């Protein structure tokens, strides 16, 4: 059993938890993920590691409530326990040798981008972080990003934070203003990563994306996380989750992701009804 040491709401649908998991904390690196079960009867879901403290023996996860399992997870309180918490899984993000990087995050994907930006910054790289949200009310991790970025830009779709536009608008301006990046690292919604890669391809900038599709076993046996990269089938859990963004078939990935949305919605509604009955 894995104890929830700390829990906090970041916005109306996103929460952060600090989980006691010393063996995982000892080995965790930015870009890797864990698979958890809320209880013995729950499903397995992957969540990328949003932070770790080797001395305290804790792992930080950030999740958005989108389905039944994340709804059940969010019902847990500080001091409660999770049934399973397995990791670290996947390959760590490669940062060696990078001197100047643009880290682009979208929505809850910023939780994955933050530890990458932090590691790069601590290694002495120049880090330009660009994050995007639908509106000001949904912005998360603003303070944390500002502390590990030489330049930090927050974009909102509706301009409610005074900076209207997409992350690609901000990235394009930086590039056209003369910024030269060794690499762009993009993490967020598939559609966002697709258009970041479309932009960087025009300028010949290497771009790495973090692909986090549906995963079940985390060992490559179930095939649920398969992707097409460079015309070949890859498994995000063991071959990734980082891939060359210019080689990923994003349209196929979006089609596969859309297949699960009705099931996620149904599971979410059923879980909500269950908790309502328990309250009554």
Q: In this structure, what CATH number is given to the domain that contains residue 109?
A: 3.40.50.80
| Whole-model pTM over 0.85 | yes
- Phi and psi at residue 243, to the nearest 5°: -140, 160
Give a yes or no: residue 144 inside a domain.
yes
Q: Is 262 inside any structural domain?
A: no
pLDDT of residue 215: 73
Specify the DSSP element, H or E, that contains 275.
Answer: helix 250-279
d(CA 45, CA 187): 18
Query: pLDDT tens for residues 38-67?
Result: 998 888 889 999 999 999 999 999 999 988
Query: Which domain, by its residues, includes 190?
Result: 100-256
Q: What is the pLDDT of residue 272?
A: 52
Tokens of 40: 């013995």
Q: Are residues 140 and 249 in the same domain?
A: yes
Are 79 and 20 part of one and the same domain?
Answer: yes
Residues of the chain with pLDDT under 50: 267-268, 279
Q: What is the DSSP letter of 93?
A: P
Find the CATH number of the domain harbouring 67: 2.40.30.10
In this structure, the answer to whether residues 69 and 109 fall within a common structural domain is: no
Q: Which H/E stretch holds residue 145?
A: helix 142-147
Q: Which of 245, 186, 189, 239 is nearest to 215 (CA)?
A: 239
Residues 6+ apart with CB under 8 A from 173: none
Do 155 and 235 belong to one domain?
yes
Are 26 and 137 in the same domain?
no
Helix/strand/coil for 205: coil
Question: For the chain, how many structural domains are there in total?
Answer: 2
Q: Is residue 216 part of a domain?
A: yes
Q: Which of 156, 59, 169 is nearest to 107 (CA)?
A: 156
Q: List the beta bridge partners of residue 186.
A: 104, 209
């Amino acid at each position: 059993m894995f104890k929830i040491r700390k829990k906090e709401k970041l916005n109306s649908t996103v929460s952060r938890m600090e989980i006691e998991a010393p063996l995982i904390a000892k080995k965790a690196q930015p870009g890797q993920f864990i698979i958890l079960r809320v209880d013995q009867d729950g499903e397995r879901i992957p969540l990328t590691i949003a932070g770790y403290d080797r001395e305290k023996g804790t792992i930080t996860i950030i999740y958005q409530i989108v389905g039944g399992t994340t709804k059940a997870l969010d019902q847990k309180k500080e001091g409660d326990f999770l049934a399973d918490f397995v990791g670290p899984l996947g390959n760590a993000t490669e940062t060696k040798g990078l001197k100047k990087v643009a880290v682009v995050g979208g929505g809850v994907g910023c939780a994955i981008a933050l530890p990458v930006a932090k590691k790069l910054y601590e290694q002495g790289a120049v880090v330009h972080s660009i994050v995007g949200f639908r509106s000001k009310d949904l912005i998360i991790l603003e303070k944390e990003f500002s502390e590990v970025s030489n330049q930090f830009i927050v974009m909102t779709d509706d301009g409610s934070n005074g900076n209207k536009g997409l992350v690609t608008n901000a990235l394009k301006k930086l590039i056209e203003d003369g910024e030269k990046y060794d690499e762009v690292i993009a993490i967020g919604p598939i559609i966002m990563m697709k258009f970041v890669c479309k932009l960087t391809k025009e300028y010949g900038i290497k771009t790495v994306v973090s692909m986090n599709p549906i995963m079940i076993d985390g060992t490559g046996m179930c095939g649920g996380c398969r992707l097409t990269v460079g015309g070949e089938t890859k498994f995000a859990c063991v071959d990734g989750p980082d891939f060359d963004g210019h080689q990923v078939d994003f349209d196929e990935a979006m089609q596969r992701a859309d297949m699960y949305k009705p099931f996620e919605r149904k599971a979410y509604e059923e879980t909500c009804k269950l908790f309502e009955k328990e309250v009554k």
